[in-house]
Amino acid sequence: MQTSRFRPLLCLASLSFAGCAAFVPGQPSPAIDAPASWTRLDPAPQAPATAAPAGDLSQWWQRLEDPLLAALVAEALQSSPDLRSAQARLREARARRTVAAAGFFPGVDASATTNRSWPSDQGGGGRRESYDAGFDASWELDIFGRTRQGVAAARADLAAAGANLDATRVTLAAEVATNYIELRTLQARIRIARDNLASQSGTLQLTSWREQAGLASTLEVEQARSNEAQTRAQVPGLETSLAETEHRLEVLLGHAPGTLYARLAAEADLPTAPAGIAVGIPADALRQRPDVRAAERALAAANARLGVARAARYPSFRLSGSIGVEALTAGGLDDDGASRSSLLGGITAPIFEAGRLRAQVEIQDAVREQAGVNYEQAVLAALQDVENALVALSRSLEREAALQTAAGSARVAAELAQQRYSAGLVDFQSVLDTDRSRLSAEDGLAGARADGLRAVIRLYKALGGGWSPTGATSPATRETP
């Protein structure tokens, strides 16, 4: 077989590379219109959040100084069902990119056939045989950039899938930390309720003794019993919420409910909030947020698919050819004279499609516009998240400080009321009022401390913490084109 027979095919292939970029619309990167600074950032020197560069936020939960929390987050980042699902979507996007890139190359098939026929009795003659073996190739030339735009869309989808995987990590770490804080808070509230229940049980016993001595009325005894029963009734509801939070945390980690009971049953203090959080400037947060990056890549993919729809309105060029051998006997396939070859070039162009192709362009243009709006919304939502988190953190610390004072005063007032009631200096209503105030203040203080930690978690999540923009968390960012 002679190579010269395929020179026209090679020449036309080389010409296709020169013309493949003839119709490739640009993909403009949308500008991020971010304010110069955060409006809700407290300028005070001792503020919980400062405008200093945020630094590495990839493992922000380590700053809460709770080894069990750190272990739970690390476990979730390894085995969470949400994370495994996002990783599967990334593998799917990578495979789709490979499928799209295959359009740049010709398709080659091998074939081998044998044919045996027996003529009818009237025709005479013996059995006839023929053998054929060869390769068939076909190639659609990317003159107007349809394949190239499809590959660009697939690459953008891959990058978006990688960003969504990072966003899943961010959300997962925040959810694990939030549920852990909720669990520790419920344990603290149960402990407070039981401590108050013990105190109120003592008050009920004291009131019963005073009644027997003729120093208290039956009304006071029943009031003490009602107060103690109301506090006792709070405990089952808190324990139910505690079990539900534990189960929710276990599912986040990919475990069956009940598997973490032994590790979480021992009560512990709430994690320690960091003394200060550096938040940087808004532009830094937008660059850090993987959901913003995913929205930007989705816009790029929509723009590329618009190019695919436009290119579909233009002619398509296809080359097909085959080389092989054919002979009447199997041994004759080795003869030079048995070789065969063919080359075919074809062009197809849409003439009448009843507006279908034009409508496809319109559809993709509308999809691109929607992707642009989604990107704008992602940017605004990111800025809103940080501003809201800054307000929540600042106000929660103020509320915690006020409730700290209230709880301390309520404890002192309850002790004084108990002592004066025992001495007969105040009526029993003062004891009831101070007991209720003490329970409310201590329970509110536990909730305020949890709110402060949740605000810290919320701020880290809003800043995009939980993944490393330069590390190995995003396989898509390391793919070569």
Nearest alpha carbon to residue 341 among 326, 330, 327, 319:
326
Q: Which residue has the tokens 């219109």?
A: 33
Strand-strand pairing, 49-50 and 128-141: unpaired
Give residue for tokens 């496809």.
360
Residue 29 has what pLDDT?
A: 58
Structural domains in the chain, CATH included, are 32-106+145-315+356-478 (1.20.1600.10)
pLDDT of residue 219: 87
Phi-psi region of 394 (alpha: psi -120 to 50; beta: other; left: phi over 0): alpha
- Most confident stretch, 139-143, 181-185, 331-335: 181-185
Q: Which helix (H) or strand (E) holds 296?
A: helix 290-311
Q: What's the pTM value of the predicted model, to 2 decimals?
A: 0.81
What strands, in cross-sheet order, belong to the sheet with 316-327? 107-117, 128-141, 316-327, 339-348
- 439 pLDDT band, cuts 50/70/90, is confident
pLDDT in tens, 8-64: 443 444 434 334 433 444 555 566 678 888 887 776 656 787 877 877 888 999 999
Per-residue pLDDT of 315-346, as tens digits, reads: 888 888 888 777 666 665 566 656 777 788 88
Dihedral sign of CA atoms 465, 35, 30, 295 in order:
positive
Report whether 380 contacts 292 (CB < 8 A): no
Cβ–Cβ < 8 Å for 296, 30: yes
**Closest by CA position to 230, among listed 193, 259, 277:** 193
Which segments of 43-145 does DSSP mark as H helices, in order? 67-79, 81-101
Q: pLDDT-based confidence at 103, cuts 50/70/90?
A: confident
DSSP 210-252: HHHTTSS-HHHHHHHHHHHHHHHHHHHHHHHHHHHHHHHHHHH
